[in-house]
Amino acid sequence: MNPTPKLFIPGPTEVHPEVLAELARPAISHRGEECARLWKVCREGLARLMGSSGEILLYTGSASALMEAAIRNLVPQRSLHLVCGAFSKRWYEIAQLCGRDAARLEVPMGQGFTPAMLHRALVEGGPFDAVTVVHNETSTGVANPVAEFAAVMREFPGTLLLVDTVSSLAGMPVKVDEWGLDVCLAGVQKCLALPPGLAVASVSARAMERAATVADRGWCLDFVRLQKGNLKEQSPSTPSTPHLYALARQLERIAEEGLVQRWARHRAMAERVRSWAAGHGWEMFPAEGFRSDTVSCIARGAGPDFVPVLATLKEQGYLVSSGYGDLKGRTFRIGHLGEHDLASIDDLLARFDAALQAAGTRA
């Protein structure tokens, strides 16, 4: 049996042994006191992590489900979608499939959005019920300056700001209240460093008020139903209780490290990878000013062919991602997030260099 590979993909990522141990706890009643305690602990911890005074929702499923929930609950008619990669495009397509009048503002992959671009789109194409944006586009390594969008959104009080922080929450600054985010959603398998299977969100008070007025919200994805469950510290449907134990422990570990220190660790790993890539003649795929601290997307540039090296690393038990979709073969992505640190990144880069040398290319 092959050993479990080390994950340097942009998620899922490595899980700490203490967190893995929590997943092995015995099953408990999802309507009992212990589950209610866990539910409350996780919601309170997530509120601190997000900097949110809003409603904290937990959902056993993927973050994509909460992307759909945000549309079904908060967009009665029209939405604007900032598209710069595969996952921001997914949110746009979800809105279309939900029957909404969805407009998109799109930039070439590798580019991000400025406040001026958002302002112009809202003025020229509005009014919109909501804007969706991916804070950290995992497919391209683009980080959008969501903090700078708050001033723009204040000019459009009827438009909600919905943000996907799937690959940024707990690895890069995310400040829900300060940035005026009406929805902040994420999965737990990236910077939170849990196995996939749980999605989390913060929903503002005004967004919850909007949801209560929107018809056909469904059942599983109904924000109002989920909020009512929170009043009893439970889920309307059966949750993954092992994930609750694991999340509670991981939130403790994040607090022990310190959130600012955690952000700095991710930034240091990103800077190490960028410097290493430049030394090989490769180029960062995202434009300057739009580069992620959790996912480095690297293009060939004048550097050596990296495709055979990815296969060699896989044989050695180290997984690095090829480019996503149309970028496959043109880029590769290193996930330096969650439990990784400079030592583990240096180990990966040394192995990458050795594989380049073995392939007869310069390292």
**pLDDT tens readout for residues 209-232:** 999 999 999 999 999 999 999 999
The rounded radius of gyration (Å) of the Cα atoms in the chain is: 21
Question: Residue 350 belongs to a domain with what CATH number?
Answer: 3.90.1150.10
Residue 174 lies in a domain: yes
Q: List, for the chain, all residue ranges whose pLDDT scores fall below the cut of 70.
A: 1-2, 362-363
Of 159, 163, 161, 151, the C-alpha closest to 88 is: 163
CB of 287 closer than 8 Å to CB of 111: yes
Count of residues making up the chain:
363
* Number of domain units in the chain: 2
Give pLDDT, residue 359.
86
DSSP character at residue 55: E
CA distance 354 to 108: 34
Name the residue type at position 241: T
Angle at 112 between CA 108 and CA 113, to 5 degrees: 115
Residue 1 lies in a domain: no
Choose one of 229, 255, 281: the last residue of a domain: 255
Q: Is the dihedral of CA 352, 357, 362, 363 positive or negative?
A: positive
Kindly state whether residues 289 and 198 are assigned to the same domain.
Answer: no
Give pLDDT, residue 361.
73
Residue 331 lies in a domain: yes
205 backbone dihedrals φ, ψ, rounded to 5°: -60, -40
Is 0.75 surpassed by the pTM of this model? yes
What integer best gives the mean pLDDT of the chain?
97
**pLDDT tens readout for residues 83-131:** 999 999 999 999 999 999 999 999 999 999 999 999 999 999 999 999 9
Choose one of 237, 255, 273: the last residue of a domain: 255
Give pLDDT, residue 281.
97
> Residue 213: which domain range?
17-255
Tokens of 295: 């996912």
Kindly state whether residues 165 and 265 are assigned to the same domain.
Answer: no
Question: Residue 33 belongs to a domain with what CATH number?
Answer: 3.40.640.10
Of 95, 70, 91, 66, the C-alpha closest to 200 is: 66
CA distance 230 to 207: 16
